[in-house]
Amino acid sequence: MIHIKRLFKTTAQIHEKSPGCHVSVFYHMGFAQLMLEDFSAAIRSFSTIILQVNRNRNYYSRFADYEQLHKLTEKAIALLAIVLFLCPGQRVNDQIHSLIREKYGDNQSKLQNGDVSALSELFGFSCPKFILPAVAVEGEAVVHCSAEALQRQQKAFSDMVARQQHIPAVRSYIKALPLH
């Protein structure tokens, strides 16, 4: 047990010293929480990293991997926009709201009008690259495994959206009910 605690402390220090690693961990953790439908945890993960990168932009711009860091942050903002649509009523920093409006305001207006295809568009842009955990069999036609993995993940996302898309309307009806 002592060795595990030491390893965790060492890993945390290394993790915090590498901005690229730090952003990547929070991005992938937030994505996993989104797909597990743990929306409040996903909002916390994405918000943490978006605010950190946005506040320390000048410092991070000196790093060699700043472009990759910026790209992951853009993807995290898009995923956060998705989560905020699927789980309305969550409190988020005003700075994050303005970033979402600035970058994805057109998609938000589509979502407000009921166009759920904007979610698929945002998801296609912002999701990580997927791989299948299987090896192709020799003699069979070559299949693009990454495309198949992406299709499976988009199907899972579409199923989740179908389950969640009516929640904002139900929430507005409940808010309109008198409390007597």
Q: How many domains does the chain have?
A: 1
For residue 13, is pLDDT > 70?
no
Instruction: For residue 61, give the DSSP letter.
Output: T
What is the chain's mean pLDDT, rounded?
Answer: 78
Predicted pLDDT at 5: 44
Global pTM reads 0.78
The structure tokens listed for 103 are 């970058």
Percentage of residues in the chain having pLDDT higher than 90: 11
Strand, coil or helix: 34: helix
pLDDT value for 133 = 61
pLDDT higher at 14 or 65? 65
Separation of alpha carbons 73 and 146, rounded Å: 23
pLDDT for the residue 43? 92
- Domain of 153? 2-176
